[in-house]
Each structure stands twice: as structure tokens, then as C-alpha cells.
Amino acid sequence: MQSIGKKEQQSRVSQAMEIKPVAETSARAAGLALALDDGTRKSHSVAENTAFVTGFFRGIATKTAFSQLVCSLYFVYEAMEKSFDETEDAGVKALDYNSLRRMPALEEDMAYYFGTEWRSTVRPSPATQEYASRVRKIAGTQPHLLIAHMYTRYLGDLFGGQMMGGMARRSLSLDDGRGTAFYQFDEIPAAKPFIEEWYTQLNALELSDKQKQEIVDEANLVFALNIKLFDELDGNPAKALWALASDALKRALGIGSRSRAATA
């Protein structure tokens, strides 16, 4: 049973991070796009991948834990997107698509979980402060490294957003699916063509070999910072997995639909 659980977790990581071979004609098969995909994949052990997914399961174990994750993401994206607005770095500007921006969606989710006065009541956690501080530091000293944050967060959210948002909605029984606006990219109807375009723009940037390697190194650091966010969450991953399995069984038996019909 334990080995099956690990295989399932690794499978979900692969889906969320889009770890699969790409066509030779894809922008992902060359340049900085390839260096980022290949460099980050090789540097993360199976244990780290499992920790990443276990952390997400911990986040969807309870509504409180998931709201804690949303809160962390809000402060991270606040630092990121403010830095994107303020930087003069040409590479960052070229890759800063408005359709990727997450702040409006996160503000909607924050109001759902913490109420209308959330701006005066919520504070970032220690891991969130570390993450946001890193973003602000490089924005002022090495702004090209912000590209690594775009790559790791935006593309990860876009690749895995539908799956993760759906898992949260099923596990937590959220009101009419509210509280997961962060995972909805309404202006991007098809993720893969969009990401191919983003990678093409990435490969066209005028960067030195040294800068490219620095961006790959930063992307690995961002992955570690994200794991720290998950490690702080209060939920129980086993509880989240049980909730998802129970939900799937109920849907297979038609229990959920009969219950809704009875209360309609």
C-alpha cells in the first residue's frame, strides 16, 4: 500500500510539472527553455518531488490549511508582481504576460477565506517572508533572476492548476467552487500553445551563458522555497488522500448526486 501511494504521488508530480518528453520542434527542446526544464528536473530527487506533492496534499487536508497556502501565495505573488511592474529588465518585461498575473484572483480568494478586512488581519509566515524577501532582493540586484520565478511559479500553476484546483474543490467541499480562483486562468483557454509561445519568447532573450545558468540555479532555489511553504501547512496529507478517495467512491456509487437531489 505504501509503495502504491508513492507511485501515485510521483505520477501527480509528473502531471503537475509536465515532466514528459517533448517534440524536437518544440521551443522546450532548445535554449534556455531546455536548460530550465532539464536543469531543474535533474536536480530534484524523487524524495523532493514526493515532499512537494505530500505538501500539497497537506494543504488540501483542511480548509484552514488550504487558506494558509492561499495566504502564503498572496504575499509571494505580491512581491513578484510588484517587482515585475517596477523592473526595467527587458527579459522580464518580455515574459510578463497580463494573462498570467495572479493578484486579482488571489485577492478574491483571500476575501473568501479571511473576510473583507483581510488586509489588516493576515500576516506572512516565516517561510513566506523568506520567499518574498528573496524576490525583492534579486529585483534590486539581479533582476534577470526574476525569470526563474516566472518560470517556476507561473508555468507550474498553469500546468497543474486545473488538477490542483479541482482536487481542492473536491476535498474541501468549497462553496460553489469558490476559493480557488488562483488556479483559474480564464484568459488562457489552452495552456500548451500559450506555454509554447512563452518558451519561444524565453529562448529569444539576449542573455549571456552565465546569466542563463544563474536563472537555472535560481529556479532550483525557488523550488526549495516552495517546499518550505508546504512544510509549514497544518493539514494532514493522509486525511486529504482519504477525502479524495471517499469523494471518488461516492461519485462512482451516485451517492453525492442522490443526496443533492434529495435536498433540492
Residue, of 251 and 185, whose pLDDT is higher: 185
In a domain, 29, yes or no: no
Number of domains comprising the chain: 1
- Residue 224, domain CATH: 1.20.910.10
In a domain, 256, yes or no: no
Alpha helices of the chain — where are they, by DSSP H?
2-17, 31-43, 46-59, 63-86, 90-95, 103-114, 126-141, 146-149, 156-172, 191-203, 209-231, 237-253, 255-263
In a domain, 12, yes or no: no
In a domain, 17, yes or no: no
Burial of residue 234, with CB atoms counted within 10 A of its CB: 0-12 exposed, 13-18 middle, 19 or more buried: exposed
Could you tell me how far CA 136 lies from the centroid of its own chain? Answer: 19
Residue, of 182 and 262, whose pLDDT is higher: 182
In a domain, 104, yes or no: yes
Confidence of residue 251 (pLDDT cuts 50, 70, 90): low
In a domain, 227, yes or no: yes
Q: What is the per-residue pLDDT across 103-137, written as a single tens digit (0 to 9) for each?
A: 999 999 999 999 999 999 999 999 999 999 999 99
Q: How many CB atoms neighbour CB 40 within 10 A?
A: 20
Q: What is the per-residue pLDDT across 28-84, written as a single tens digit (0 to 9) for each?
A: 889 999 999 888 875 555 335 556 667 777 778 888 889 999 999 999 999 999 999
Q: What is the per-residue pLDDT across 201-221, written as a single tens digit (0 to 9) for each?
A: 999 999 999 999 999 999 989
Q: Is residue 151 part of an annotated ligand binding site?
A: yes
In a domain, 113, yes or no: yes
Is pLDDT at 8 greater than 70 in this prediction? no
Q: Could you tell me the pTM of the whole model?
A: 0.81
Contact 105, 184 (CB under 8 A): yes
pLDDT number for residue 10:
47
Please list, in sequence order, all residues whose beta carbon lies within 8 angstroms of the beta carbon of residue 81, skipping any fewer than 6 positions away. Answer: 101, 102, 103
In a domain, 134, yes or no: yes
Domain ranges, residue 196: 47-235
